[in-house]
Each structure stands twice: as C-alpha cells, then as structure tokens.
Amino acid sequence: MSETSPKLRAELAGIPTYKPGKPAAAGGPVAYKLSSNENPYPPLPGVMETVTAAACSFNRYPDMACTGLMDELAERFGVPVSHLATGTGSVGVAQQLIQATAGPGDEVVYAWRSFEAYPIITQISGARSVQVPLTPGDVHDLDAMADALTDRTRLIFVCNPNNPTGTVVRRAELERFLDRVPGDVLVVLDEAYREFIRDPEVPDGVELYRERPNVCVLRTFSKAYGLAGLRVGFAIAHEPVAAALRKTAVPFGVSQIAQEAAIASLRAEDELLGRVGSLVCERTRVVDALRGQGWTVPDTQANFVWLRLGERTVAFAEACERAGVVVRPFPGEGVRVTVGESEANDIFLRVSEEFRKEA
C-alpha cells in the first residue's frame, strides 16, 4: 500500500466534530432523551399516513424544486416563492448560506456559546469564526457583535432564542443592531425555536426581513413540527440570497417523504401548535421548580433550559443518566436540558433537587 494519502484541505484540520445528543440507553428501566431539543410527541396519525403513502415511490427522485412545499410556505408566510429556499434541515440551509457568502479570509460573526454547528460550517468554508461572548446573563451581546464587524465580515448569525441558553433578543435591541450592520453583510436570524416564544417583545424575523434585504430568516420543521428525523428546513430571504441558496443546494437533498410530511404538518398546524403550547406549560413548570430549588435559570423561550454548572457539569449529567434521563452537557460550562415528557421532566427535577442539596 502507498505511504501517501489523498491531500485534504488544510481548513479541515481541527474542525470540532458535531456532538449529537446522546441517545437514551437501550434496555434501561426508564430512559428519556432530553439531549437534542427534539419534540417528545410521536408523529400525528395524519402525517404518518402521508409519509407512508409517499414512501411507496422512493424509487423515484424527489421534486428537486420542492414545488408543493414552496407554494404552501409562500402562502403561509405571505412571501414570494422566489424568496424561499429549502434544505436538509435548517443546518443544511445554514451551511449553504455560508458557502454562498464566505470563503478563505472572510469572517462569520456569532455569539458564543451558541449553536454548535456554526463553528463547524464556518471552518469548512475556510472562513474565520469571530465568536462574541454572551453577556454574563447568557444573552447575545449585540453591541459587542456590532463592534466586532470588519470589512471582512460576510455573515452574522443571531440565534433567537439562543441554543443552548434559551435566551432571546428583543425588537428594539435587534433593530438597533440591524441598523448598525452594513447592507452588504448578511444577517441570518436563526429561529429554529420560533414557535416556542411567548415573549411579545421578541420580533418575528419575517417582519424584519420584509424591510431589510440583508436579513435572512432560518426556520425548521424539526422542533415544533416534530420532523427532526426527516431533515427539512427553509430560509426566507430576498433575492439574490434566496437564489444563491438554490445554487448551493445539494440536488434532491430534501426527500419526497420530508416534503410531503412538511406540507401535511403545515396543514395540521393547529394541532401541532397545541402540542407546543403544552410544552410551553411544561417549560414554565420546570423553570419555576428549578428556581424554587434555588437554581439560577436564564429566562428561556425555547424548548430547553440551561443550567450553568461550570465544573459540576459532567457530574450533573451523569447523575441524570443514572436516574434515567439523558441531558446535554457542555463540559466546564453547563447543561442543556430539553423540556420533554412530564415523567422525564419530573426525573430531571428530582435529580436537580438532590444535586442542589448536596452542593
């Protein structure tokens, strides 16, 4: 065998690997997965039927233009089809956005800690990550982010609500920030958890996009709509950004099953958003209980809570796992816990109470 190996791009060295939320242990007494911000509800029967029917023709390629889904989204959001682009989950669309805007020598600005895919997809493109620390209250520091812009900045992510802290930026501060961003820099409002927001001061990114050609809104069917395993997300953006997204898309990336499921989910929105409402009630219950136990919990508008445990992070995650719930530790920083089934939330709250007493 030859001693040499194929030359790979230097930018790939040292890319952090995406750490998926750990699955619940198979065969354990009770095991709940609260590590990936998934929707705990099973698929709706109607969506299941649609998926089963669509599965009968997977010998064929899907509709590459996602025509039916695009029409449905255009109507739902009141935007032209030419302002829409779909992808393999919103993380796929986020990667297309970077490919379309940033290469070697360019900069991508985002808060940190935030969604762990941002540094990975930035580095893959050869661009440089500019990570702006969250405030001590775990919120985006938009003034510092605006100060961090240079003539190399090509794209900014604003994750609202932020993963993993659940914190939000509100209308006035976001508009002030957008006013400071030059028109030739793309601002991506990552709204993967939009449907879980109850704070009326948090703007709907789609409103902001209408007035601002450099704003792009990212949404997903993975969370509120419960289609995480089918991989479909989308962006709403003006031309030429939406057109660039179509150019950078993997051909046939969104399966026909995913397209049909997404359409069926939009049509069953009332029922799905009812489930979101129940999860929001659970979120309030969990946050109140944690605060009652003495924890400092940032206000969360997403389907997860953040505990800044520092050095005790891993120990806490292990205690959760022993008790039957898998959470997402960020060693040395904190633990992100998805709001799931009530039984799972109860187990988590029992562990947090014990842990608090021992500390």
Ligand X SMILES: Cc1ncc(COP(=O)(O)O)c(C=O)c1O
Which of 91, 217, 264, 309 contacts ligand X by CB under 6 A?
A: 91
Kind and range of the H or E run holding 323: helix 313-323
Does 90 bind ligand X (CB under 6 A)? Our answer is yes
Of the candidate spans 22-30, 83-91, 130-138, 341-349, the one that interacts with ligand X by CB under 6 A turns out to be 83-91
* Residue 31 · residue 326 · CB < 8 Å: yes
In the complex with ligand X, which residue's Cβ is closer, 222 or 256?
222
In the complex with ligand X, which residue's Cβ is closer, 110 or 348?
110
CA distance 232 to 253: 9
> Would you state the structure tokens that stand for residue 198, as one six-digit string?
């109850």
- DSSP at 17: P
Residue 33, Cβ neighbours under 10 Å: how many? 19
- Min. distance of Cβ 347 from ligand X in angstroms? 22
What residues between 129 and 168 interact with ligand X by CB under 6 A? 159, 163
CA distance 359 to 355: 6
Read off φ and ψ for residue 259, nearest 5 degrees: -60, -45
In the complex with ligand X, which residue's Cβ is closer, 164 or 324?
164
Does 228 bind ligand X (CB under 6 A)? Our answer is yes
* Residue 302 · residue 39 · CB < 8 Å: no
In the complex with ligand X, which residue's Cβ is closer, 145 or 319?
145
CA distance 334 to 155: 27
Of the candidate spans 64-72, 87-95, 196-204, 287-295, the one that interacts with ligand X by CB under 6 A turns out to be 87-95
Does 233 bind ligand X (CB under 6 A)? Our answer is yes
CA atoms within 13 A on the CB side of 49: 5
- Min. distance of Cβ 36 from ligand X in angstroms? 7
- Min. distance of Cβ 253 from ligand X in angstroms? 12
In the complex with ligand X, which residue's Cβ is closer, 231 or 355?
231
Task: List CB contacts of 8: < 8 A, sequence separation 6 or more.
Answer: none
What residues between 198 and 227 interact with ligand X by CB under 6 A? 220, 222
- Min. distance of Cβ 120 from ligand X in angstroms? 12
Which of 32, 33, 34, 37 contacts ligand X by CB under 6 A?
A: 37
Binding-residue total with ligand X (CB under 6 A) = 13
Residue closest to ligand X, measured at CB: 89
Q: How many helices (H) and strands (E) does the chain have?
A: 12, 12
In the complex with ligand X, which residue's Cβ is closer, 159 or 178?
159
CA dist list (Å): 303 to 40, 170, 194, 198, 224: 10, 18, 10, 11, 9
- Min. distance of Cβ 99 from ligand X in angstroms? 15
CA distance 99 to 103: 7
Of the candidate spans 4-12, 39-47, 75-83, 85-93, the one that interacts with ligand X by CB under 6 A turns out to be 85-93
> Would you state the structure tokens that stand for residue 233, as one six-digit string?
């997300």
CA dist list (Å): 155 to 103, 145, 159, 167: 11, 12, 13, 21
Reported residue count of the chain is 359
In the complex with ligand X, which residue's Cβ is closer, 177 or 355?
177
- Min. distance of Cβ 294 from ligand X in angstroms? 28
Does 192 bind ligand X (CB under 6 A)? Our answer is yes
CA distance 90 to 127: 20
In the complex with ligand X, which residue's Cβ is closer, 220 or 313?
220
In the complex with ligand X, which residue's Cβ is closer, 62 or 355?
62
- Min. distance of Cβ 221 from ligand X in angstroms? 7
CA neighbor of 187 nearest in space, from 159, 162, 219, 163: 159
Does 327 bind ligand X (CB under 6 A)? Our answer is no
Residues making contact with ligand X (CB under 6 A): 37, 89-91, 115, 159, 163, 190, 192, 220, 222, 228, 233
